[in-house]
Structure 1
Amino acid sequence: MSNLTAGHVTAATDAAGITTITFFHPAHNSLPSAILAQLARTITEKGQDAATKVIILQSEGERTFCAGASFDELRAVADAAQGLAFFSGFAHVINACRTCPKLIIGRVQGKAVGGGVGLAAATDYCLATTHAAIKLSELAVGIGPFVVGPAVERKIGTSAFGQLAIAATEFRSAEWAASHGLYAEVLPDLASLDAAVQALAQRLAVSSPDAMRELKQVLWAGTGHWDKLLVERAAISGRLVLSEFTRAAIG
């Protein structure tokens, strides 16, 4: 099995209506197209499932939540159309989170890089451990965080987003991310994180579905144009990934 087809996405709903969606890839939970497509499809399907009251979005492993785009797949991009298709995968996942009628809790147990930061930002309430440092590394390889940018900027503001995007080789601590609104709370270890995530999920599972659906719409007000915007941003990255600079940097 190649790195482009490795990994998986699973979903399980318990008796309380808590649906846990989990993704995994052996390369530090990076995201090739196949995983992105599975994530978008699973979030959409479970969001429409009447049995689901609330969703937890998480990855496997202990110290890396998500390493972002799959470099193996970036190296394989041969033209702008393929680049657009790949980066549109991130757009589809973010829009699936945005349009999902159920609240999504993010569980970030470790570092989040690039698209992983965007994934965390696309959840409605994100909890993390102290190991969950973040970095938007795209500019360092000549791309730029164009697709995930709207989701990240919505959570942490333009100034903080600019700091992350420009200082592309630097990690910011989980505490920094919390102080700027990406994380709602930073927990000391995995056990504390899981306890906090489950406690919140259980409270939401017995809350009014109608009220939560209306709240979700309020929280995402003003983003109705993202179906078009994020694909336009994907086209920018899809062109830039073909540059000599990016080819050398990825190599």
Structure 2
Amino acid sequence: MAEAYVKKQIEDRIATVEFFHPAHNSLPSDILSKLATTITEVGQDDEVLVIILKSGGDRTFCAGASFTELINIQDETEGEKFFMGFANVINAMRKCPKFIIGRVQGKTVGGGLGLASAMDYCMATKYAAIKLSELNLGIGPFVVGPAVQRKLGASGMSQIAIDANTFYSPEWAKQKGLYANVYDSTEELDEAVIDFARNLCEYNPEAVKEMKQMFWRGTEDWDQLLNERAKISGRLVLSEFTKEKLERFK
């Protein structure tokens, strides 16, 4: 079985950050930690003008939290620490002074939708349906919620958060503003992403930095907010309801 990884490649002033996990690109703590660190590093690299964030494999973009790790959480401190992994990635993306382009090749669920929502510009294939499944597990999309709501609006966010068993189409996601464009194939998506990234390299980095701050205005409290949300998820993941649900998925 292929090993999980986070890797970066810098070419022609474009940094590509890629993550992979054999379990449908789910996100355990170590991958989340490496992702946050890598995004921060390339954001601070003067050689980099734009960042592409993608996942490995050709099917699922991201299945969200690692169920294996969720099942093994023993107390609220462990729970908070795990969910802070998602908070740290979202905050790293938010604070990064470069535009982050998302390349979403397939379905994205839960925490994966949080990542897609934290992109500055996101492109996808017609297979990239989205779902917020947390309520189904007895938790809730607390940590990723602010990022998702910022992209989909309050009504779109509440709709998919409440309807936790349903995949919403890429067309719905585009209509709500999550995806800028939806393509018929991964090949078309890749071509569009690299063309767009090269185009962004022509812009003034100082202007990009100022625009990024402008777009994310009003999120300055997210360090504290997402930490508070991680505590809620960390508490709920220990509930009998959630323990029973996770055992069924085991």
Q: TM-score, normalised by structure 2?
A: 0.98
Aligned to 1:119: 115
Aligned to 2:212: 216
Give the alignment of 1:16-165 within 5 angstroms.
16-165=12-161
Aligned to 1:173: 169
Partner Cα separation in structure 2 for residue 218 and residue 186 of structure 1: 26
Aligned to 1:194: 190
Spell out, residue by residue over 1:137-196, the C-alpha distance to the aligned partner (whole angstroms, 9 max, x if none): 000000000000000000010000000100001000011000001101101101110011
Spell out, residue by residue over 1:196-225, the C-alpha distance to the aligned partner (whole angstroms, 9 max, x if none): 101110001121101111110011000000
Percent identity, please.
60
Spell out, residue by residue over 1:48-97, the C-alpha distance to the aligned partner (whole angstroms, 9 max, x if none): 00011000000011110000000000001000000000000000000000
Aligned to 1:9: 6
- Paired residue total: 247
Partner Cα separation in structure 1 for residue 42 and residue 206 of structure 2: 16
2:181 paired with 1:185: yes
Partner-residue secondary structure (3-state), 2:61: strand
Query: Over aligned residues, Cα RMSD in angstroms?
Result: 1.1
Q: Which amino acid aligns with 2:39?
A: I
Segments of structure 1 that go 5 or more residues without pairing to the other structure are none
Segments of structure 2 that go 5 or more residues without pairing to the other structure are none
Q: TM-score, normalised by structure 1?
A: 0.97
Partner-residue secondary structure (3-state), 2:206: helix
Aligned to 2:230: 234
Q: CA deviation at 1:36?
A: 0.2
Q: CA deviation at 1:13?
A: 0.4
Q: Which runs of 4+ in 1 moved over 2 A?
A: none
- Choose the corresponding residue for 1:247, options 220, 243, 246: 243
Spell out, residue by residue over 1:22-46, the C-alpha distance to the aligned partner (whole angstroms, 9 max, x if none): 0000000000000000000000000
Q: Which amino acid aligns with 1:8?
A: Y
Partner-residue secondary structure (3-state), 2:103: strand
Partner Cα separation in structure 2 for residue 162 and residue 173 of structure 1: 16
